Structure 1
Amino acid sequence: MGYDSSATRARLLEAAYEEFVAHGLAGARVERIAKNAPANKQAIYAYFGSKADLFDAVLGARLQVLADVVPFTADDLPAYAGALFDAFIADPDLIRLTQWKTLEKPEASPAELEAHLTKAQAVADAHGTDLETGMDALMIALAAAQSWLFTPPAIRNPTGDDEKSRLKRHRAAVIASVEALAGRLMPAE
């Protein structure tokens, strides 16, 4: 059986995702990634260049999966925030990975900046406002979708509701908050 470089690359990305979620960029070890792939360390450098570049590749790949799962709806930010909430509940490791990114690499990459600017402009165009207002509304939707995920369990569920009821209540709160906050920024239609 011949060598399959695309399979090796995919295994490295998956092993790196698990490593970066667990340890962040600084705490991740190339040796563990290679062992868990299984591949050799040199393959990481050959395919990705550096550990930091591998982190960027993992983050980019995971955000692309998120974009495929949750289509962006510039004209309905509350629904978009609700769908993001669902996706984050389904894959909480993605939030952990983005938290590591924020802590260890707070600067926006050119691709990240372009993605946010494109979405913010779409929001602005859909609601007849300017780019800054579109960006504000977009950031409100993103923050609301993630808000309950950062809250300690005793705070997010003080009444001890069953998990299904709690998630339903929190999802409704996410949608209502985006309707209220982002809606205040947009001109009345």
Structure 2
Amino acid sequence: MSRADATKARILQAATDEFAKYGIAGARVDRIAKTAAANKNLIYVYFCSKDQLFEAVLDAHVTHGLNSVPFTPDDLPEYAGRLFDYCRENPEVIRLATWHRLERGDRDPAVAAPARDAKLDALAATQKKDGIGSEFSPTTLLTLVLSMALAWNPSNITSLPASSSEAESADDRRRAIVEAVRRLL
């Protein structure tokens, strides 16, 4: 790895931590540069602006990360379980996606649309072929599956902490998600 690539990687990691903690508006380029042990000007050389740096972070962690979870339209319950696992292991993904929704409203990350459209097309084909979840449109079905898979993420205010009498493990929650999606279909 060249020095430039190493510096760029340090900047992306520092920016990931900064944006996950403070959001787009609260993130500071000075802190990112200091954490990355990089000259602040290099951030602008590599990424042009704080906004484009956020897009690079979002693409690297949210879009590519979530796309690394294999989408299986013929086995949506297990897909939901794998998505739950991925987000549990990578909490910054949910935080970054949440900041994007909070600060950018309904604007879809441009890089997310092709992957989402491919999932919807694959789901529509599976519904047509097997009748799985055919009571719902592909968009509604995918939204419901994603909502269930991400129900226990830390930024979900409707996610209740387990009381002392019902201490659920991550495995218990995963099983519940998989079963809920199975029943949905």
State the TM-score, normalizing by the size of structure 1: 0.84
Q: Which runs of 5+ in 1 are unaligned?
A: 184-189
Residue 187 of structure 1 is matched in structure 2 by: none
Pick one of 138, 141, 147 that aligns with 1:143.
147
Distance 2:152 2:117 in 1: 25
Matches within 5 A, 1:176-187: 176-181=179-184, 183=185
Q: Deviations over 1:23-69 (max 9, x none)?
A: 0000000000011111111111111111111111101101213422x
1:158 aligned onto 2:163: yes
Residue 19 of structure 1 is matched in structure 2 by: 18
Residue 110 of structure 1 is matched in structure 2 by: 110
Deviation of 1:19 after TM superposition, in Å, equals 0.2
Distance 1:9 1:33 in 2: 11
Aligned in 2, Cα 1:61/1:138: closer, same or farther, shift over 3 Å?
same
Deviation of 1:77 after TM superposition, in Å, equals 1.1
Deviation of 1:151 after TM superposition, in Å, equals 4.8
Distance 1:151 1:174 in 2: 17
Matches within 5 A, 1:29-44: 29-44=28-43
Deviation of 1:179 after TM superposition, in Å, equals 2.0
Q: Does the Cα contact within 8 Å between 1:59 and 1:97 map onto a contact in 2?
A: yes
Range that drifts further, 83-92 or 17-26 = 83-92
Runs of 4+ aligned structure 1 residues displaced above 3 Å come to 159-162
Deviation of 1:169 after TM superposition, in Å, equals 2.0
In percent, how many aligned pairs have the same letter? 39
Counterpart of 1:169 in structure 2: which amino acid? D
Deviation of 1:90 after TM superposition, in Å, equals 1.2
Q: Does the Cα contact within 8 Å between 1:16 and 1:54 map onto a contact in 2?
A: yes
Counterpart of 1:124 in structure 2: which amino acid? A
Residue 169 of structure 1 is matched in structure 2 by: 172
Deviation of 1:127 after TM superposition, in Å, equals 1.9
Q: Does the Cα contact within 8 Å between 2:23 and 2:96 map onto a contact in 1?
A: yes
Matches within 5 A, 1:16-95: 16-63=15-62, 64-68=64-68, 70-95=69-94
Q: Deviations over 1:97-129 (max 9, x none)?
A: 111111011210322122211111111112217
Distance 1:82 1:48 in 2: 35
Counterpart of 1:148 in structure 2: which amino acid? W
State the TM-score, normalizing by the size of structure 2: 0.86
CA RMSD in angstroms, aligned pairs only: 2.2
